[in-house]
A = this chain, B = another copy of it.
């Protein structure tokens, strides 16, 4: 039994992680500002979770009753709003990371930081990117995730703070919700919602841009393996499937599963959008024992089931 802090634990990936940690017998504390997380996401385990509502960049090492063995740092401002509000992105993503590392320093806790594969920017030929590929951040969010990775390395080198960094491909699954206020419209969740609710489906550009889609339970598996591993030097691991799925293919899968045709509208391509995405996870496989288990159809089916039960509420 270990004592963990999960920042962003009421969020999409965070809540799946908290569930899994509790299932594995650990004691879990959540810090979340509820900007994109929901108390409902952990209602079914609320008695087993200690919660703090607040911004991660304001956390204080002294505010917690527990001394943590590990911190899963998932709290983040969304990529989609970082161009509109780069200052807010710096608060959440840069200052948030420093606050977590300071806490880890004082608690002697290991950190797993969930970074983002958007750091690489776009490839044009669809070749797989790996951890040694050149960084080419295309939004302030990507740049701030990259600098946060460097903070982890610096805190390890100077203070001995233990950490591991994972870079998620595009995660999707149950509880991922569209948040118009935050300009947060995750691809799969948006399409599922649109098709179930008979709304127009908006496709940016031609829809041939691809994503490496990783189902949330696979992502959670990788995050926990990173914590349990012997990696302590802020080494970086891609958590992905090494498969490309185009936006158009996602929509076709949703239509198939829901058994309904969508009404499609095309808008301008998004500024700074990624054209092709495929990430090689062989480093995570060999060093963490990570291997994704779900195909994109498996995952979309689970999300559709969930959405059918919840969207009507």
- Docked Cα-Cα span, A139 to B150, in Å, equals 9
Given contacts A137-B154, A146-B150, A158-B272, 10 further A-B contacts (CB under 8 A): A87-B95, A90-B95, A94-B94, A94-B147, A137-B150, A138-B154, A138-B158, A140-B151, A144-B147, A158-B271
Interface residues of A in 122-161 (CB under 8 A from B): 137-140, 143-144, 146-147, 150-151, 154, 157-158
Residue A83 CB within 8 A of the other chain? yes
A244 to chain B, nearest CB (A): 23
- Is residue A186 within 8 Å, beta carbon to beta carbon, of the partner chain? no
Cβ–Cβ < 8 Å partners of A139 in chain B: 154
Contact at B140–A98, with CB atoms within 8 Å?
yes
User: Which of B98, B144, B271 lies in contact with A87, CB distance below 8 A?
Assistant: B98
Q: Does A292 contact B (CB under 8 A)?
A: no
Residues of B within 8 A of A157 (CB): 138, 272
**Across-interface contacts of A271 in B (CB, < 8 A):** 158
Complex interface: chain B residues within 8 A of A87 (CB): 95, 98
- Least CB distance from A28 to B in Å reads 27
Q: Which of A50-91 contact B (CB under 8 A)?
A: 83, 86-87, 90
A86 nearest in chain B by CB position? B98
Shortest 8 CB-CB distances between A and B: which pairs? A147-B147, A143-B150, A86-B98, A90-B94, A143-B147, A137-B150, A158-B271, A90-B95
Flag if B137 contacts A143 (CB, 8 Å). no
Cβ contact within 8 Å between A143 and B154: yes
Residue of B nearest to A141 (CB): B154
Chain A positions 153-212 with a Cβ under 8 Å from a chain B Cβ: 154, 157-158
> Complex: how many Å from CA A144 to CA B140?
12
User: A94 contacts which chain B residues (CB < 8 A)?
Assistant: 90, 94, 144, 147
